[in-house]
Amino acid sequence: MTRVYSTEDGDLRKGKRQRKGVTAGPGAEQGHPSDGVVRVERRRGGRGAGWVTLITGLPGDSKTWLKDLKKLCGAGGALRDSAVEVQGDHAEKLIEHLTTKGLRVRRVGG
């Protein structure tokens, strides 16, 4: 059975593996800097959905962070390209929580 569509990659026919309608965020062409700063960004989700909060630069295991942050916010989430994505606008709550954990946190974007 051949898959022709994936919610992650879009159309899989004839080698079309590029996601449609998704643009990279600011600074994506340079990659995420490894300067020890955790960055928290609020973005619009795909397909006209609501807000998602994107956290990059977390030290250690991303899966552990994902579980902890989803539980804190009472929301769903996922790992996307070594970044933790939490559904909903939880930037302030996450910044406060990560700061109390002793991390340097910076808010990115609006």
- What does the pLDDT read at residue 97? 94
CA distance 14 to 101: 47
- Does 54 fall in a domain? yes
The pTM of this model reads 0.67
CA distance 106 to 38: 6
Collect the ranges in the chain with pLDDT lower than 70. Answer: 1-10, 12, 14-34, 47, 110
- What does the pLDDT read at residue 24? 45
Number of domains in the chain: 1
- What does the pLDDT read at residue 60? 87
- Alpha helix (H) residue ranges in the chain: 62-73, 91-100
- Does 26 fall in a domain? no
- What does the pLDDT read at residue 81? 82
- What does the pLDDT read at residue 43? 87
Strands (E), the chain: 5-6, 10-11, 37-44, 51-56, 77-80, 83-87, 104-108
- Does 64 fall in a domain? yes
- Does 3 fall in a domain? no
- Does 7 fall in a domain? no
- Does 45 fall in a domain? yes
**Pairing of the two strands 51-56 and 37-44:** antiparallel
Burial class from Cβ neighbours inside 10 Å (0-12, 13-18, 19+) for residue 4 reads exposed
- What does the pLDDT read at residue 95? 94
What are 41-64's pLDDT values in tens digits? 998 877 677 889 999 999 988 899
Q: What is the CATH number of the domain that holds 65?
A: 3.30.780.10
Could you tell me the residue range of the domain that residue 39 belongs to?
A: 35-110
- Does 30 fall in a domain? no
- Does 56 fall in a domain? yes
